[in-house]
Structures are given as structure tokens and as C-alpha cells.
Amino acid sequence: MISNYIENANFEDTGFSYTLSLIAGKHKMVILYCLMEFEPVRFNELRRYVKNISDKTLSGNLKELESDGLIIRKEYPQIPPKVEYNLSDRGKSLMKVLDQLCVWGENNRK
């Protein structure tokens, strides 16, 4: 199926390339997986789950995932501020793909 995309179009125009553009980077798939397992999740919880990530990087990744429509950011009007993150329906549909990556990894781990 992937070879059909490559033969008939530029790689950048394929669904595969688009999907990779949404989840590319060191932490985005881990963030999405954490939201799938533990939602709703607050910022500090995510930082604990996604070890070795700076606040700036986590914040940037969350903003990108939100702008891509994969997660929903819910802010509560209280002091101190409370913000929770959840998967959107679009993000939940991507979890089937990430789950298959997990299955493949478990079955092919050396």
C-alpha cells in the first residue's frame, strides 16, 4: 500500500507523510500515549510521565498537538490555574495506529 503512494504521488502528498508530520518528534507519541492511558492529565503529571522533557518543549508539543486537533486543552477559571488535557475524537482515532506500533514492538522485541 505504501509503495502505491510513492509511485503515484510525491511522498510529501501522501497520507503517510501527513500522519508522520502530526506525530514527528521525540515526545509527541509518548504524550498521546499517556493521554490515552491516563486522561485527563494535567501538565505536571505529563511532565512526570514523559521523563527528561523541559517545560518549554512539553508546552510547545502540547500547543502543536492542540492546533493539529489531536488533543483538547481545558482551562478551569480558578486560582491557582488548573488545566487538563484530553484526546480529541481525532486523537482517539490515531490511538489505533499507535496501539498497533505497541503490538508490533512487543511481538518483535529482541
Bridge-partner residues for 76, per DSSP?
Answer: 82
Look at residue 32 and give its three-state secondary structure: helix
CA distance 6 to 14: 8
CATH topology for 26-108? Arc Repressor Mutant, subunit A (1.10.10)
- Give the tens place of pLDDT for each residue, 49-103: 998 899 999 999 999 999 999 999 999 999 888 999 999 999 999 998 888 988 9
Place of cell 498537538: 65
pLDDT recorded at residue 27: 94
Residues 6+ apart with CB under 8 A from 29: 23, 98, 101
Instruction: Say what the pTM is.
Output: 0.82
